[in-house]
């Protein structure tokens, strides 16, 4: 089963397009774990407990581990990432958030790492270096999400620069959406877009793509994105192909709510699902 079909199947079975972003932060995990600062004895069990709870309750339909958050702890962190793939890759689609993108041969090496070594269903890539940097990730059966309009505050430094003049002027992120649609048409799918929830750009992008590209939407949780605006933009026959990501707002919900981290994470996820499930 290819990644798009798997995303649709999981979303329809669990009645949600919620994706859980796994961003380990030892400082935030330590208070909840008796093993202190030992990476594999701390972040591993912490996130496995949460993921198991979310899966048991059908609260998510994808996982998005962020490579950098594991790699910052060296091999100990990467071993935890390996365990995550071994334990969950058959249960739920995994999007390895790697944000790769380089000249052709280097991208080929990165694509082999992401898809062949880690076994990810999907990944995130930067389009800045052009077609030859993107093409190696457009592998049949997999899915590459192209960074389009991201949710960080300084994304406007480049993504909202206008190209052209007068009525023909377009934002850079709109050109990225157009080019990605072209890549999709030439590669039988296998490509989507990352579009943040922190402004109304999702509406512009959906106007360009007509819902034909699967979206990965960060920024709904701790970054304060507008969930209702996003859901309105995504609604349509391809709704189940998209994913709305929430990371720290779910993982570290216990820091505000207290109690068991897994229970607090489920409660936070279900707040989002209450709104998401209105669209199924």
Q: Which of the residues are catalytic?
A: 99
d(CA 75, CA 137): 25
From residue 219, how far is each of 109, 127, 212, 243, 250 by CA, in Å? 30, 20, 22, 12, 12
Q: What is the DSSP letter of 208?
A: H
Residue 250 CA to residue 138 CA, distance in Å, equals: 30
What residue spans of the chain are helical by DSSP H? 3-14, 26-29, 39-56, 67-71, 74-88, 104-111, 131-134, 156-159, 172-186, 201-209, 227-234, 248-251, 254-257, 261-276
């Amino acid at each position: 089963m290819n990644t798009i079909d798997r995303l649709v199947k999981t979303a329809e079975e669990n009645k949600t397009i919620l994706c859980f972003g796994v961003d380990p932060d030892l400082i935030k995990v330590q208070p909840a774990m008796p093993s202190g600062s030992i990476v594999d004895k701390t972040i591993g069990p912490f996130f496995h407990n949460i993921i198991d709870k979310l899966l048991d309750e059908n609260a998510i339909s994808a996982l998005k581990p962020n490579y950098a958050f594991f790699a910052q702890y060296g091999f100990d962190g990467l071993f935890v990432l390996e365990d995550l793939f071994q334990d969950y890759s058959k249960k739920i689609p995994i999007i390895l958030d790697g944000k790769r993108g380089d000249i052709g041969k280097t991208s080929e090496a990165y694509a082999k790492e992401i898809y062949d070594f880690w076994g990810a269903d999907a990944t995130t890539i930067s389009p800045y270096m052009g077609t030859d940097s993107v093409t190696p990730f457009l592998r049949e059966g997999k899915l590459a999400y192209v960074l389009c309009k991201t949710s960080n505050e300084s994304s406007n430094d480049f993504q909202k620069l206008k190209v052209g003049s007068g009525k023909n002027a377009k934002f850079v992120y709109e050109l990225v959406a157009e080019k990605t649609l072209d890549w999709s048409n030439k590669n039988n799918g296998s490509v989507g877009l990352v579009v943040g929830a922190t402004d109304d750009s999702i509406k512009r992008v959906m106007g360009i793509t007509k819902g034909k590209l699967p979206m990965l939407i960060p920024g709904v949780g701790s970054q304060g994105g507008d969930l209702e605006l996003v859901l309105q933009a995504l609604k349509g026959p391809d709704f189940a192909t998209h994913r709305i990501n929430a990371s720290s707002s779910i993982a570290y919900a216990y820091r505000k709510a207290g109690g068991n981290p897994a229970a607090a994470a489920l409660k936070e996820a279900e707040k989002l699902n209450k709104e998401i499930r209105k669209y199924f």
